[in-house]
Amino acid sequence: MKILITGFEPFGDYKVNPSAIVAERVAKDVLAEDINIDTFYAILPVSFKRARELLEKLFNEYKPDIHIALGLRPGASFIAVERVAINIMDSRIPDNDGYQPIDEPIDPQGPPAYFSTLPIKAIVRKLRESGIPATISNSAGTYLCNYIMYLSLHNSARFGIPKRAGFIHIPLPPEDAVNRRDLSIGIPPSMSIDLAVKAIKIAVKTAVEYFNKPDERVPP
């Protein structure tokens, strides 16, 4: 089973993107731990144009069975397993190439949305049973995260690569949160990289376990 794990490079005023660190560590750890899982990771540029190009290249060359895309969700206190990607780009800030699409479709011919084909309910259940704050999220936003999730599911629907795809958001790491300040809550929530790595390893293994069976049907 071939699994692609992607993270993103830094953007905005986030000097480090924990999704890149976690993608690399999880890919390497799982590769070393499980002989049946062949992992591969990539750090996507925060560029609508270049991220799409790299993603298509990865799909064509590597032909992953599963794609788990990771991204940063500042302000979250939990792992957010995304349920759905929507066919829109609507950016609060320009991407790292200076491109800022406003209310444009990702693919004018594409469907309005795709639901994740990862076992999102099983992943959340296993994370919570492991003591890791996690929840289903119903929006991956309208920036690069939602875009990559949509593109991956769009490629899957049209070409069968990957066979399963989805997106998981991780919180700020403590070393970044420490320098920020929310009016309501003081320093915003964070999650240590170690715990995020543990979480995404569980997600990867759960995606493999449920590859050929339906997701659990439990309340969100």
In the complex, the residues that contact a copy of itself under the rule CB under 8 A are: 74-78, 83-84, 86-88, 90-92, 100, 102-103, 111-115, 121, 128, 131-139, 141-142, 172-175, 177-180, 182-192, 194-195, 215, 217-220
> Minimum CB separation from a copy of itself for residue 142, in Å?
6
Catalytic residue among 9, 56, 61, 82: 82
**56 labelled catalytic:** no
**154 labelled catalytic:** no
Catalytic residue among 169, 175, 209, 216: 169
> Minimum CB separation from a copy of itself for residue 82, in Å?
10
Q: Which is nearer to a copy of itself, 39 or 142 (CB)?
A: 142
**169 labelled catalytic:** yes
**C-alpha distance across the termini of the chain, in Å:** 28
Catalytic residue among 53, 145, 175, 209: 145
> Minimum CB separation from a copy of itself for residue 37, in Å?
25
Q: Which is nearer to a copy of itself, 3 or 72 (CB)?
A: 72
> Minimum CB separation from a copy of itself for residue 8, in Å?
17
Q: Which residues are designated catalytic? A: 82, 145, 169
